[in-house]
Structure 1
């Protein structure tokens, strides 16, 4: 599958690995992929983000902050935390207590000092979905725009954060394809 990735898409995957290494995360997750998509320049994905107003530094900072907050909650999305709150479970209180006892970032999945980073199940799902998205649009290669569509279409933290900034599958497809084609996810 990786032979079908454009240079831009390969750069996103490499950038995601770099983010995971910088954080000493045990694996590369969908948040790392999203951060790397945000860093892309001169690609179709960066064009889409610019057209949707995500090129403003304030929105980029909001996305980064939302991903950091989700990572502190052990990857729970805001919707997950809200659902638990409906059951009387205050996730923020739990995070605060755990971090008070074990240090800031204790729920981020541990620390890894070296070696190759594996990809989480969710991150692998994004890569697989990007192939399906490219095939659905009859594109011959997988670009960072397909990764962006996959991130926006799969349930989880990345799609929630993107939706909060107005980046949805229909919006991305409108910019890329000018119409109402459906993405495969």
Structure 2
């Protein structure tokens, strides 16, 4: 499928992988893909910026969400003191025992893999391309795939940033038609 991707769309996929590795993520999510599209220099990135979703705002939101995969608030609600658990684990197994594994370790030769929702978003980008009767998958098609399913983290990130997802979809569709 990647042979159909334009330079900008490929850059978004590669950028998402790099961002995921930088955050030491286990999986590349729709959030990583959204950030990478926003960091581009094409019409899709311009549409995101026009909607108020800048790369800096998206990166901050993703980093906040990735700061601790063990949600201290959720654990506290069920009576678990995360600080006490960390202290006990580190006393028994050493510092950083609960930290995410190093993505560069011997069993992570290829880095993080794409999460199911990210794979689905990329598949949806292909469907968007075919629906528009275009031959190449552009970054705009990737963005349309990322905002097609309201369960995706990418949609949640945009909504939390105050973006009108329906208006963004219309803007991206218009930009893709104009460029075709």
Normalization by structure 2: what TM-score? 0.72
**Structure 1 stretch displaced more, 166-175 or 146-155:** 166-175
Contact in 1 for aligned 2:125/2:145 (Cα 8 Å): yes
Contact in 2 for aligned 1:9/1:143 (Cα 8 Å): yes
Tell me by how many angstroms 1:99 deviates. 5.6
Query: Are the structure 2 counterparts of residues 116 and 92 from structure 1 closer, same or farther at C-alpha, using a change threshold of 3 Å?
Result: same
Cα distance in structure 2, aligned partners of 1:52 and 1:19:
22
User: Is 1:121 paired with 2:116?
Assistant: yes
**Structure 1 stretch displaced more, 148-157 or 164-173:** 164-173
Q: Which residue in 2 is equivalent to 1:146?
A: 141
Q: Secondary structure at the match of 1:153?
A: coil
Cα distance in structure 2, aligned partners of 1:38 and 1:92:
33
Q: Which residue in 2 is equivalent to 1:45?
A: 44
Tell me by how many angstroms 1:126 deviates. 1.3
Aligned residue pairs, count: 160
Q: Which residue in 1 is equivalent to 2:92?
A: none
Tell me by how many angstroms 1:68 deviates. 2.3
Tell me by how many angstroms 1:18 deviates. 0.8
Cα distance in structure 2, aligned partners of 1:173 and 1:17:
24
Q: Which residue in 2 is equivalent to 1:111?
A: 102
Q: Which residue in 1 is equivalent to 2:160?
A: 164
Q: Secondary structure at the match of 2:147?
A: helix
Contact in 2 for aligned 1:44/1:143 (Cα 8 Å): no
Runs (5+) with no aligned partner, structure 2: 87-94, 176-180
The structure 1 residue matched to 2:59, chosen from 64, 83, 106, is 64
Cα distance in structure 2, aligned partners of 1:2 and 1:38:
19
Cα distance in structure 1, aligned partners of 2:70 and 2:35:
15
Q: Which residue in 2 is equivalent to 1:83?
A: none
Q: Which residue in 2 is equivalent to 1:5?
A: 5
Contact in 2 for aligned 1:9/1:142 (Cα 8 Å): yes
Cα distance in structure 2, aligned partners of 1:169 and 1:135:
22
- Alignment RMSD, CA only? 3.2
Query: Are the structure 2 counterparts of residues 111 and 133 from structure 1 closer, same or farther at C-alpha, using a change threshold of 3 Å?
Result: same
Q: Which residue in 2 is equivalent to 1:22?
A: 22
Cα distance in structure 1, aligned partners of 2:36 and 2:70:
18
Contact in 2 for aligned 1:25/1:111 (Cα 8 Å): no
